[in-house]
Structure 1
Amino acid sequence: MDKLSYLNESSGAWHTYLKQIDRVAPYLEHLKEYIDTLKRPKRALIVDVPIVMDDGSIRHFEGFRVQHNLSRGPGKGGIRYHPDVDLNEVMALSAWMTIKSAVLNLPFGGAKGGVRVDPSTLSARELERLTRRYTSEIGHIIGPQKDIPAPDVGTNQHVMGWIMDTYSSSQGYTVTGVVTGKPVHLGGSLGRIKATGRGVYICGVEAAKRVGLELKGSKVAIQGYGNVGSEAAFLFYDAQAMVVAVQDHTGTIYNREGIDISKLNEYVQQFGGVCGFENTENIANEEFWDVDADILIPAALEGQITAHRANRIKASIILEGANGPTYPEADDILIERGKTIVPDVICNAGGVTVSYFEWVQDISSFFWSEAEINHKLDDLMVKAMDEVWNTATKNHCTLRTAAYILACERILTARKERGIFPG
């Protein structure tokens, strides 16, 4: 079989994903012949994004949109604005979206996009120009039945509103379903912003039940304090767990007796980060991995749990709030040490699940209450956790491998039944 050079990176997020696919192959029986479908993206688009800056100069940014697999439905995945965005990363993130959607049995494939930019260096007008030009460059491959973007690192509901407006302008009518995670008054869904963090919490509750960990009084450490980390922190705090350590871009804070999350959220709103919060100790970022905790939630970027850090982690449950936070070799070490890892492809799937709800609401023009959305989200997450846990027990494998078994069976069965055109 011909090899494509960009598919064979020896390191990085895409390499991590390929290793995960190789590990699931022995469990796929007759579907194994289709596995190469998952080892290459269906479509990868690289675009130039020129914009006029506020000072009149012209700058060029590189943008990406990758559609990994569309066998089960339109592509679904966020758009990331970050200075480290590259094709390798976007391919991996799109592939994880394929797996994630299939684990939750949502009628989506996987996609992802990004622009290599530090959004904090742009004015609001420059950010809008960047977004609208990027949308126009990828506009021919997105749409409510093609590929539906959403927010990710460095983007938010306002960015989604600009994308929706730009795409709608090109169509000549309002197309609310082209993105999810947009403002509620533009067809966004209640509960969307908190959905990923809520999903992490639900998975934590289910995992704790199964390993016999009492949630009340348990100690939680969280890396990353954006929408995901802060909502998960609040829900664990509300359940009377003790959040003892939090790390974000400003530093790491620690209190062995627990941090007041309600007050911390107010502090972060005011000062933009956790560092310096009252009644906490500032510790070195690397010391975060040595914190005495029962539950660890990596909710920042991919590639955070290395083999070295895996040997130091004390938590018995790891809830992957971020995409791809654990390297395969670190995975092995943690499993050997008896840790329970709830993988990203189910643990942080609350966001894509409520994005699915938003897409359905936009298509029907009928909207649900936040209580209805949370109830539906809880039901789907608990069901998926049951399926993954039972699959792991049946196959004597890890939860990550079990999630991939379920997902790959669903994706490759769809690929098989659709056939290959032309025959």
Structure 2
Amino acid sequence: MSLKCALINIPFGGGKGGITIDPKTLSEAELKRLSEEYISRLFDVIGPYKDIPAPDVNTNPKVIRWMVERYASIAKEKKMDQKNVYGAFTGKPTDLYGLSIREFATGYGGSIVLLGLLSKLKLSKKKVTVAVQGFGNVGYYFSKYASRAGLSIVSLSDSKGAIINNNNDALDIDLVMECKRKQGYLAGCYCVGGVCDINKGKVITNDAILELPVDVLVPAALENVISKSNMKNIKAKIIVEMANSPVTPVAYEYLSRKGVYIIPDILSNSGGVIGSYIEWKQNVTSERYSDQKALLLLESILSEVFEQIWEMSVLRKISIKEAAVVLALSRLLEK
């Protein structure tokens, strides 16, 4: 996270924190008490100019709401300045001064970076096929915005398996999500051109989706899914790391030697923390961001950083990932 924040040049650090517990074993009342007590104990070390919590694994706007409300309550008891209280958290519900684009900022940001690379490689968007492993929040929004940009999302997966149409047509992302929400899984959601037909596709495994003959592969779920065991079967020429560390070091070295472009996670999934930065910025200043203004800033930050990385990659004859790390480290050293 420190490298990611340095790379995109925002004034955040890399702290992480959490509770070792399975929230599915708790009632909502228990989860609420746990969330509030967590903030009570952390109160002195978090704040708008200290550590700033944001949602991560097994958290959501409801959990953040409980935390923010507890923080605000304690701040009031301590007679602290209420002006910047809401800047102590990001990923908040919009009625608590959150930013509505925060929900889809990660996926949207990943699509922006991919489009930047396609432009550098002079590849026609209409001819690019994409497979996305993982159809949660990040995978869905990445697919949605990549599809809107003209790319063909031909295969998607969730924890139960992957789907692909019989004739490899581009999937209708919003219809696929609507279908998944209705039935709880992707199998059978073969939706193309506004129509879903259970007979027009098939289910493949989550391992098989990684080995499809597509132009772009997007691991957006788990880490280490591309490893020594399957790296020789990867056919995509571009990999976008929307999950954290989905490509192992061994696989990275092998695929890079084979000429595969790998967009590293510290760049491709940094849209989320940029969204957090914009939310924090409007909480601690008088400036307000409409969705359009926030998206333009997010796109501007990512496009500028990608240009710097690409220039360094070409100049030094190193990979995109190496250029990203060098740039991030140089910024940390400057500070």
Aligned residue number for residue 155 of structure 2: 245
2:274 and 2:254 map into 1 onto residues whose CA distance is 31
1:349 aligns with 2:270: yes
Within 1, Cα distance between the matches of 2:92 and 2:269? 19
Q: Which residue of structure 1 lines up, in the alignment, with residue 47 of structure 2?
A: 143
2:185 maps to 273
Shift of 1:345: 0.6
- Separation in 2, partners of 1:274, 1:392: 38
In 1: Cα distance, 2:201 partner to 2:72 partner: 48
Aligned twin of 2:232: 311
Cα distance in 2, alignment partners of residues 128 and 272 from structure 1:
26
Q: Which runs of 4+ in 1 moved over 3 A?
A: none
User: 1:275 & 1:365 partners in 2: Cα distance?
Assistant: 48
Distance 1:138 1:295 in 2: 42
| Alpha-carbon distance change, 133 to 272 in structure 1, aligned in 2, over 3 angstroms | farther
Which of 278, 281, 285 lines up with 2:206 in the alignment? 285
Pair 1:123-2:27 in alignment: yes
| Post-superposition offset of 1:182 | 0.7
Shift of 1:155: 1.2
- Cα 1:132–1:294 change in 2 (3 A) is same
Aligned residues: 318
1:110-147 C-alpha deviation (Å, 9 max, x unpaired): 11223233333333222222222222233332211111
Aligned twin of 2:308: 387
Give the conservation status (yes or no) of the 8 Å contact 1:259–1:280. Answer: no
Could you tell me which amino acid in structure 1 is paired with residue 323 of structure 2? A
Distance 1:136 1:271 in 2: 39
Q: Percent of aligned pairs with the same residue?
A: 37
TM-score normalised by structure 1 residue count: 0.72
Q: CA 1:308–1:211 in structure 2 vs 1: closer, same or farther (change >3 Å)?
A: farther
Which ranges in structure 1 are unaligned for 5 or more consecutive residues?
1-96, 415-423
Secondary structure of the structure 1 residue equivalent to 2:35 = helix
Following superposition, the deviation at residue 159 of structure 1 comes to 1.4
SS of the aligned residue for 2:217 comes to strand
Task: Give the equivalent residue in structure 2 for 1:161.
Answer: 65
Partner residue in 2 for 1:63: none
Contact 1:189–1:367 (Cα < 8 Å) also in 2: no
Task: Establish whether residue 190 from structure 1 lines up as the match of residue 108 from structure 2.
Answer: no
Following the alignment from structure 1 to structure 2, what is the Cα–Cα distance between the partners of residues 161 and 218? 41
Read off the aligned partner of 2:19 and give its amino acid letter: V
Paired position in structure 1 for 2:138: 228
Residue among 80, 85, 107 paired with 2:11: 107
SS in 1 for 2:273: helix
Distance in 1 (CA, whole Å) between partners of 2:222 and 2:37 is 26
CA offset digits 1:204-254 (Å, max 9, x no partner): 101111123211131111111122110111112222322111111222112
SS where residue 230 of structure 2 aligns?
A: helix
Q: In structure 2, how many angstroms separate the alpha carbons of the residues matched to 1:294 and 1:268?
A: 25
Tell me the distance in 2 between the aligned counterparts of 1:244 and 1:328: 27
Q: Residue 377 of structure 1 aligns to a residue in which SS? A: helix
Distance 1:136 1:163 in 2: 9
In 2, are the aligned partners of 1:190 and 1:373 still within 8 Å (CA)?
A: no
Tell me the secondary structure at the aligned position of residue 401 of structure 1: helix
More strand, by proportion: 1
The structure showing larger relative contact order (alpha-carbon pairs under 8 Å, at least 6 residues apart) is: 2
Is the 2:219–2:243 contact (alpha carbons within 8 Å) kept by the matching residues of 1? Answer: yes
C-alpha separation between the residues in 1 aligned to 2:185 and 2:278? Answer: 31
Q: How far did 1:273 drift?
A: 3.1
CA contact (8 A) 2:133 2:158 kept: yes
Task: Confirm or deny: 8 A CA contact 2:241 2:268 kept in the other structure.
Answer: yes
Residues 249 and 129 from structure 1, CA distance in 2 versus in 1: closer, same or farther, beyond 3 angstroms?
farther
AA in 1 matched with 2:52: I
Question: What is the TM-score normalised by the length of structure 2?
Answer: 0.90
- Cα deviation digits, residues 258-303 of structure 1 (max 9, x gap): 2221201212332333233244311122212211211111111222
One-letter amino acid of the counterpart of residue 224, structure 2: G
Question: Mean Cα displacement is larger for which, 272-281 or 190-199?
Answer: 272-281
* 2:285 is the counterpart of 1:370: no
CA contact (8 A) 2:91 2:99 kept: yes
Distance in 1, matches of 2:71 and 2:163, equals 42
Of the candidates 152, 163, 175, which is equivalent to residue 263 of structure 1? 175
